[in-house]
Structure 1
Amino acid sequence: MPESLLNTQDVKDLLAKVGGLGNENGDARMKHIVHRVVSDLCRVIEDFDVQPDEFWSAVSYLTAVGQAGEAGLLVPSLGLEAFLDLRMDQAEQQAGIEGGTPRTIEGPLYIAGAPLSKTEARLDEANEQGEVLFMNGQVRDMDGQPVAGAIVDIWHANTLGGYSFFDPSQPKFNLRRRIETDAEGRYSFRSILPGGYGMPPAGQTQKLLDQLGRHGRRPAHIHFFVSASNYRKLTTQINIDGDAYLHDDVAFATRNDLIPRIRRSTDPAAIRARGLNAPFAEISFDFVLHREAAAAPKAEVTRAHAEAA
């Protein structure tokens, strides 16, 4: 077997120059990261005997992912966003932070600036057809005390799996709201039960998933940011029990503690009391936050988001 090119001085010198390791300019951390990434990629090329046409096909694929705006879909589908969450869990445990509501992925479909309501809100602006959902709960700290004035930021898909802003048929902030909790840390909202959805079937993410023999489906879910002064921001989502992909999420975001029980009411008096003419669903879910701690890793993640026009 021929000697690995990576062990030759010529290639070692090449990779050192690629990473800028021989100069005093630039950012030292970035230099070592680039050197490592390119070195590991060269090892993959060598180990799998990647041919030039295969390499340039991969470059074309990544270009197409960017042009299609699918990087935010590809990353969770490859488990990278779930891995970042697991690393954060580990870092918090090492800092003595355990328990509370589990985190899970944010996903790529958040839009900042949703309307802010006090204590309660209605999320469906478009007279959406679907099973009406009433959800309520409390934001508490680890000692069980209510967190007044917390902001519960909510976003989810409609029954067809479409998100407002990304789906131009919906009003700008349909199924998106921020709710400020009351003095007892309570929030409530009316919406509809969302549907699950899949990667665009002709898109670049599904193209790769097909090569891996994987589906591109996500179970129905509702996203949340929960934040309050002096508390660690929580990024999480609940999954809708009974979905066929509940434990087979392409984004690996399902956590058992984030699958609340759904109560369905068919009682005519309860239906009338809600001002409805059909059965409805109810979910109760409390969020438990940790206080900020000096030794803890940063909970607020800085990332680019689309902005509503």
Structure 2
Amino acid sequence: MTEDFVQTEAVQTLLDKASGISEDGGNDRLQTITRDLVEGIMKIIVRHDINESEFWQAIGFLQGGADEYGLIVPAVGLEHFMDLVMDARDAEAGKSGGTPRTIEGPLYVEGAPIVEGDANLTSDPDDTDTLYMTGQVTGPDGEPVKGALLHVWHANSKGFYSHFDPTGEQTPFNNRRRLKLGDDGRYQFHSKMPAGYACPPDGPTDQLMKMLGRHGNRPAHVHFFVEAPGYRTLTTQINFGDDPFAKDDFAFGTREGLLPMPNRQGDSAMIAFDFQLQRAAAPSETDFSARQRAHA
């Protein structure tokens, strides 16, 4: 891969949107500087063949305690750019297929309870509709994946995540579980419907978005890690297809194939979604990236 990859239409469009240049408002000078800065980082990533773990180790070093660095990185398009780079590297290596990867975001917490069967993710009272999700984890030939572990996490109806809730009202691991799947690779869970959210008001990310003339909203979504022996780990999430920000996510997490439409009936909604994994070509592909993550 050469630096010409940064000049492709997909990346140049991402840069225009991430910097706010394609928007009517914002500070023109800051938009231009932001675009040049992010494009320069993208070129460095390609030029030096920086991998995902090296990228996140650098972010962790630069973060130095800044609480919202994990929001700023996706907001300026860099986390999505890493997905585009990994997709392009897969294509160069002849690897294709499988559920699309997309951004992890900064709100995963290690150590969620491991459960089996029809799992209830929600521990706390939440006066909202119930979400039901079902599906199957398969391999590239459609075979059921045995021994899969499905990590699931999402916000509550106020858009807050447990362990990061500014109200302090949620119990540990509310709306967070790891589902241990059977030999058929099938999963099912229910929880209280998550809401989309905006970046914290007047925080660094919110201030940057306003100066760039951009909003800081995410659609309602559910995060997933999928891991299984012999298969590449998958980091992905679904955005609800009927959310007003479904295709205008400030963090660029929306991708084709990850926008299911909830079947809403009464006080519940059903989503059927299958995951397809790729086989691992090396033991390292069964590991998650070296990103710094929260501990309970």
User: Which category of TM-score, normalised to the shorter sequence, fits these structures?
Assistant: 0.7 to 0.9
For residue 269 of structure 2, what is the aligned residue in structure 1?
Answer: 281
For residue 197 of structure 1, what is the aligned residue in structure 2?
Answer: 197
Q: Does 1:143 align with 2:141?
A: yes
Q: 1:120·1:179 contact (CA, 8 Å) conserved in 2?
A: no
Q: 2:149·2:181 contact (CA, 8 Å) conserved in 1?
A: yes
Deviations 1:96-139 (A, max 9, x none): 11111000000000001100012331001002221101111000
Which residue type is aligned with residue 153 of structure 1? H
Q: Give identity over the alignment, percent.
A: 50
Q: 2:99·2:277 contact (CA, 8 Å) conserved in 1?
A: yes
Aligned CA RMSD, in angstroms, stands at: 2.0
Match of 1:301 among 289, 292, 295: 289
For residue 187 of structure 2, what is the aligned residue in structure 1?
Answer: 187
Which residue type is aligned with residue 112 of structure 2? A
Decide whether aligned partners of structure 1 residues 253 and 76 sit closer, same or farther in structure 2, where only a CA change above 3 A counts. Answer: same
Q: Does 1:291 align with 2:279?
A: yes
Question: Aligned partners of 2:285 and 2:256: how far apart in 1?
Answer: 24
Question: Aligned partners of 1:152 and 1:139: how far apart in 2?
Answer: 9
Where in structure 1 are there 5+ consecutive unaligned residues? 1-36, 42-64, 267-278
For residue 220 of structure 2, what is the aligned residue in structure 1?
Answer: 220
Question: Aligned partners of 1:298 and 1:116: how far apart in 2?
Answer: 19
Question: Aligned partners of 1:222 and 1:151: how far apart in 2?
Answer: 16
Question: Aligned partners of 1:157 and 1:137: how far apart in 2?
Answer: 21
Q: 1:148·1:185 contact (CA, 8 Å) conserved in 2?
A: yes
Q: 1:152·1:178 contact (CA, 8 Å) conserved in 2?
A: yes
Question: Aligned partners of 1:111 and 1:296: how far apart in 2?
Answer: 22
Give the superposition deviation at 1:297.
6.9
For residue 24 of structure 2, what is the aligned residue in structure 1?
Answer: none
Deviations 1:45-101 (A, max 9, x none): xxxxxxxxxxxxxxxxxxxx8655110011000000000010011111112111110
For residue 69 of structure 1, what is the aligned residue in structure 2?
Answer: 67
Q: 2:227·2:286 contact (CA, 8 Å) conserved in 1?
A: no
Q: 1:234·1:299 contact (CA, 8 Å) conserved in 2?
A: no
- Calculate the TM-score normalised by the size of structure 2: 0.75
Identify the structure with bigger relative contact order (alpha carbons < 8 Å, sequence gap 6+).
Answer: 2
Question: Aligned partners of 2:248 and 2:205: how far apart in 1?
Answer: 17
More displaced 10-residue stretch of structure 1: 298-307 or 164-173: 298-307
Count matched residues: 235
Which residue type is aligned with residue 99 of structure 1? G
Structure 1 residues 2-151: aligned runs within 5 Å: 68-151=66-149
Question: Aligned partners of 1:249 and 1:220: how far apart in 2?
Answer: 10
Q: 2:195·2:219 contact (CA, 8 Å) conserved in 1?
A: yes
For residue 17 of structure 1, what is the aligned residue in structure 2?
Answer: none
Question: Aligned partners of 1:304 and 1:224: how far apart in 2?
Answer: 17
For residue 255 of structure 2, what is the aligned residue in structure 1?
Answer: 255
Question: Aligned partners of 1:190 and 1:154: how far apart in 2?
Answer: 11
Give the superposition deviation at 1:264.
2.2
For residue 12 of structure 2, what is the aligned residue in structure 1?
Answer: none
More displaced 10-residue stretch of structure 1: 239-248 or 295-304: 295-304
For residue 161 of structure 1, what is the aligned residue in structure 2?
Answer: 159
Question: Aligned partners of 2:285 and 2:232: how far apart in 1?
Answer: 10
Question: Aligned partners of 1:164 and 1:187: how far apart in 2?
Answer: 23
- Calculate the TM-score normalised by the size of structure 1: 0.72
Q: 2:240·2:259 contact (CA, 8 Å) conserved in 1?
A: yes
Question: Aligned partners of 1:77 and 1:298: how far apart in 2?
Answer: 28
Tell me the secondary structure at the aligned position of residue 69 of structure 1.
coil
Tell me the secondary structure at the aligned position of residue 135 of structure 2.
strand
Give the superposition deviation at 1:206.
1.0
